[in-house]
Structure 1
């Protein structure tokens, strides 16, 4: 009996250590809060954030990420610009390094918009934390929500630091009926 109890305690301890390691270094579960990524991600949906893959492979334009907005809140947004990019919006049309970029994840919100434009017009140099440059500085990212009319994003709080990034959203697992892997439009 004593041996069985020790085996159970050991198995539980190993499981707890593995859960801690996976949650700290490999992947984390997050619950989406708010409508800033609607309809890509909806309030209350649960996602898995790949922590280690982001650190090893970096970020690309189009990736959906989770980052620390402040000490108490994490945000989920889409990467629009990476270091060295010149990003400009002209009346809802995205230009990266002078080339027009399609944003298929905005189709729903374009069709259901309340105003004339959902993103508006701006350049990187007009954003906080840009140092007045039209190119995104090293170590910074431009992030926007897919539901641009309600999203608090780089247009309001500016460029974010790479150190704020928790990881890339790899999959949505809840609700099961909305299971999805990969949110990057280039790979869909």
Structure 2
């Protein structure tokens, strides 16, 4: 093998590597990314230290009530995993541990396990009464599924601006034994 042929082969490999790294950065920055769940605010849906695959290709039309999202904190350093409860234009209210959106009682099947645990522990409610809260345009009302241990739109996190939503959780991919859709 000639020296110039070896040199060309190296250039080809370096070029391919740079393209792969560049594509990887573009995909992670603009399309998809892994996020680490920290804390218990979304249990039992998501657990501490699980990794979630997040779809960053979202628009306001793609966001629906019940979606699990990753939101950027005001400091841009912290990220929060929460469930969308109220959409722009909604009135959100909690009365006697029952969620009402625009005056209509909402089913929350993702709370069934936490409600059972609370009853066994002698607790009557997962969520204190609040509202009605009007959700302005381009903002979302979010809560964690583990309502007793979640900082969310009710108690410190506030409403989430649309531009602070990083993306929608799609599936848990780590640990591999816990692989599942995020619902």
Q: Provide TM-score, normalisation by structure 1.
A: 0.87
Alignment size in residue pairs:
173
Q: Which has the larger radius of gyration?
A: 2
Name the counterpart of 1:177. Answer: 177
| Shift in Å, 1:70 | 3.0
Structure 1 segments unaligned to the other structure (5+ residues): 126-134, 184-188
Aligned partner (choices 104, 129, 142) of residue 121 of structure 1: 129
Contact 1:47 1:172 in 2 (8 A): yes
- What SS does structure 1 have at the residue aligned with 2:127? coil
| Shift in Å, 1:174 | 0.9
Name the counterpart of 2:97. Answer: 92
Q: Distance in 2 between matches of 1:95 and 1:106?
A: 15
Name the counterpart of 1:104. Answer: 109
Structure 2 segments unaligned to the other structure (5+ residues): 1-5
Q: Distance in 2 between matches of 1:28 and 1:82?
A: 24
Q: Provide TM-score, normalisation by structure 2.
A: 0.90
| Shift in Å, 1:155 | 0.8
Structure 1 residues 32 and 173: alpha-carbon distance in aligned structure 2, compared to 1, 3 A threshold? same
| Shift in Å, 1:6 | 0.7
- What SS does structure 2 have at the residue aligned with 1:112? helix
After the TM superposition, which parts of structure 1 deviate over 3 Å for at least 4 consecutive aligned residues?
none
| Shift in Å, 1:164 | 0.9
Alignment RMSD (CA, Å): 1.3
